Amino acid sequence: MKADERQRQILVRARTDGRVEVGSLAVDLAVAEETVRRDLRELVERGVLQRVHGGAYPVESAGFESNIKHRSTSLVAEKRRIAVAAAERLHGAETIYVDEGVTPQFVAEELAPETPITVVTSSLLAASALAETPNVTVLLLGGRMRGRTLATVDHWALRMLGDLVIDLAFLGSNGISREHGLTTPDPAVAAVKSAVVERSRRRVFVGLHTKFGASSFCRFAEISDFEVLVTDSGLSLSEARRFAVLGPQVVRA
């Protein structure tokens, strides 16, 4: 099997399964592990995979974005820990934005305010999770719903955000890197996220360690826009320090 065909198969598997392992790829492709590592390095250089110890994750791009079904079953324990740590950051906020995505949805599920708050969200999943939560009023942004993420976008959502002032925003991204900031594949999603950054006083990033070092198509914020980056312990201490130098506190849950 030629290298280009082998790398194509590796990429397809990564996007289907959410992760690939060096050992299992070597067995399935009948090649040496060093050959697989070389293939992974080339795919990382092309920007389609993100390398982690023992394997790699797919980088979401303009041509590829995982759906909500896959995200809701991948690294759930890590996402839950992130959500618990993030929900502790309310610090008296009365108006809160909860982003689209599974990790922000888990943040919504962790919210249990003792005093009334208003939660603004583009996510149908987050809105549903909060619908019966005591002391929470939910404001769902209107607009075109993206079937892949069950969230609203376009000018209706932007118009509503333009009239709001938000105390605290919990935001996710498809990639976060020191070079390119926070990025996402879809320009319509980036526009909503960018508007939230502009309309919020405080911002907390929530996302898996696999997002760090990756970059996607559309930038919507700088790392310095955030007071805290909440991720899981898969992010190394050395890498956490590199991001902290840019301004935010980095929490490894």
- The answer to whether residues 223 and 176 touch, using CB atoms and an 8 Å cutoff, is yes
Lowest mean pLDDT among 60-64, 65-69, 84-88, 111-115: 60-64
Q: What is the pLDDT of residue 49?
A: 87
Band of residue 72 on the pLDDT scale cut at 50, 70, 90: low
Average pLDDT over residues 233-247: 96
Band of residue 63 on the pLDDT scale cut at 50, 70, 90: low
Average pLDDT over residues 22-31: 90
CA pair distance 135, 130, nearest whole angstrom: 10
Q: Which of 127, 83, 117, 90 is nearest to 232 (CA)?
A: 83
Instruction: Tell me the per-residue pLDDT of 150-183, one tens digit each, with 9 for 90 and over.
Output: 999 999 999 999 999 999 999 999 999 999 999 9
Q: Domains of the chain by range and CATH?
A: 3-58 (1.10.10.10), 68-252 (3.40.50.1360)
pTM (global) more than 0.75: yes
List, in order, residues 6 or more apart from 65 with CB less than 8 Å away.
148, 174, 185, 186
Distance of CA 67 to the CA centre of its chain: 12
Instruction: Tell me the per-residue pLDDT of 106-122, one tens digit each, with 9 for 90 and over.
Output: 999 999 999 999 999 99
Report the mean per-residue pLDDT for the chain. Answer: 93
